[in-house]
Amino acid sequence: MKTLVEALLRGERRALARLLTIVENEREGMDEALATLFPHTGKAWVIGITGAPGTGKSTLMNALTKAYRKAGKTVGIIAVDPTSPFSGGAILGDRIRMRDLAGDSGVFIRSMATRGSLGGLSRATRDAIRVLDAAGFDIVLVETVGAGQSEVDIVRTAQTTIVVEAPGLGDDVQAIKAGILEIADVLVVNKSDRPGADNTVRSLRAMLELGHPASRTQLIQHHGQLLEAPVPAGEHAITLWMPPIVRTVSTEETGIDELMAAIESHRAYLDDDGVLDTLDQQRIEIELHDRLQDALLTRLLRVLPGDSLAGVIRRVQMREMTPQQAVSAVLALQDERLLK
């Protein structure tokens, strides 16, 4: 494993691919590999890109990657498909982009789908980011399909989050904007040569302004933080960051320089204000909570006597106990076993 990690650190692409596979599938040796890599991480800038289908996210990623390459930066890409809990298919990342970027050793693309447990995707994404980071990529782009809660979770592992919109996507889009807007550090209106682009920009701006200074501060606080309780206003107050709105036409590579500049200024903002440090801690806290939940449940199921869970499930099904009561019963059973 050590040899493999050393090969990764030397920049060998085959070692990179193998380590990503190990991390994605939780293969043997993963913990050791990650422990060896870990001290070499923390140099990459992680950018999350999300948005509804039809906004042209993939083409935008492509254009952004080319621009970073032109600026001399290497780019690792993780394309996450949380909608596929069953087939571990590589649906994304292998399409438009590959044509332009194939053969460039400064770019590495990996598609990931959910494998195994439902919570596994966030874990795998975080660890895959670490592998790419240790491999020396300057920029790690994390793209997600869709715009649901799991995408929000994944994007939350990024340092700069880009939310992509486009004009004229119909009915439901307005609803998505409202929620997803709040995780955006940079907003992109792609396909901005289409009719309605001005309207999209205007309505985004209006929605941003609705979140007036006080609430924006709180939102930035929330960013990256486990939302167990609302943050009391004023506590750990952080300087206001107002997400810029960038217009792009990714198929023509228009507006990409402006997008890079917006990302850069967000990065400078985080560095200047020491916000990055706080956000880093919050990111780690979320990750530890996730991992602890998994570890605790695994242990409980191991400790539990044979078919006692099946018995409890049966009683809930018969409506003899509520799920709440079932949880108390199972916890009591576990404690009894642990104390013996």
Q: What is the DSSP string of 160-211?
A: EEEEEE-S---TTHHHHHHHHGGG-SEEEE-STTSTTHHHHHHHHHHHHHHS
State the first-to-last Cα distance of the chain, in angstroms, to the nearest integer: 39
Q: Pick out residues in 243-272 that bind its own copies (CB under 8 A).
A: none
Q: Does 81 bind its own copies (CB under 8 A)?
A: yes
Q: What is the smallest separation between the CB atom of 301 and its own copies, expressed in angstroms?
A: 8
Range 123-142, binding its own copies (CB under 8 A): 126
Residues in a beta bridge with 51: 164
Measured in degrees and rounded to the nearest 5, phi and psi for residue 188 equal -115, 130
Region of 328 (left: φ > 0; alpha: ψ -120 to 50; beta: rest) is: alpha
Residue 324 contacts its own copies per CB under 8 A:
yes
Nearer to its own copies, 102 or 339 (CB): 339
The strand pair at 75-81 and 45-51 is best described as unpaired
- Which element (helix H / strand E) includes 288? helix 275-303
| Euclidean distance between CA atoms 177 and 196, whole angstroms | 16
Does 91 engage in binding with its own copies (CB under 8 A)?
yes
Half-sphere exposure in the Cβ direction for 237 (13 Å, CA): 7
DSSP 8-state assignment for residue 236: T
How far apart CA 108 and CA 78 sit, in angstroms, is 9
Spatial separation of the C-alpha atoms in residues 105 and 83, rounded to whole Å: 29
Task: Round to whole Å and give the CA distance between 247 and 188.
Answer: 6
Q: Which two tokens stand for residue 152?
A: 């929000």
Q: How far is the CB of 313 from its own copies (least distance, A)?
A: 5
State the nearest-atom distance from the C-beta of 115 to its own copies, in Å. Answer: 9
Q: Which stretch, 5-13, 14-22, 266-274, 275-283, contacts its own copies (CB under 8 A)?
A: 275-283
Of 106 and 315, the one with the shorter C-beta distance to its own copies is: 315
Please identify, using beta-carbon distances, which residue of 39 and 195 lies nearer to its own copies: 39
Dihedral pair phi/psi, residue 122, rounded to 5°: -60, -45
Q: Is 322 in the site for its own copies (CB under 8 A)?
A: yes
Q: Alpha-carbon distance 27 to 145, whole Å?
A: 25
Nearer to its own copies, 238 or 316 (CB): 316
338 binds its own copies (CB under 8 A): yes
Candidates 73, 330, 333, 337; binder of its own copies (CB under 8 A) is: 330
219 binds its own copies (CB under 8 A): yes
Nearer to its own copies, 257 or 300 (CB): 300
Residue 226 binds its own copies (CB under 8 A): yes
Q: Does 148 bind its own copies (CB under 8 A)?
A: yes
Tell me whether residue 139 or residue 145 sits nearer to its own copies (CB atom): 145
Which 99-118 positions form the footprint of its own copies (CB under 8 A)?
Answer: 113-114, 116-118
Q: CA 148 to CA 81: how far, in whole Å?
A: 11
Q: Are 133 and 127 in contact (CB under 8 A)?
A: no
Binding mask 170-209 for its own copies (x = CB under 8 A): xxxxxxx-xxx-xx--------------------------
| Distance between CA atoms of residues 243 and 245, nearest Å | 7
Q: Which is nearer to its own copies, 237 or 338 (CB)?
A: 338
Residues 277-316, one symbol each (x = binds its own copies by CB under 8 A, - = not), give x--xx--xx-xxx-xxxxxxx-xx--------x--xxx-x
Q: Is 222 a residue that touches its own copies (CB under 8 A)?
A: yes
228 or 235: CB nearest its own copies? 228
- Hey, which residues between 4 and 63 contact its own copies (CB under 8 A)? 31, 34-35, 38-39, 41-42, 52-59
Please count the residues of this chain forming the interface with its own copies, following the rule CB under 8 A: 94
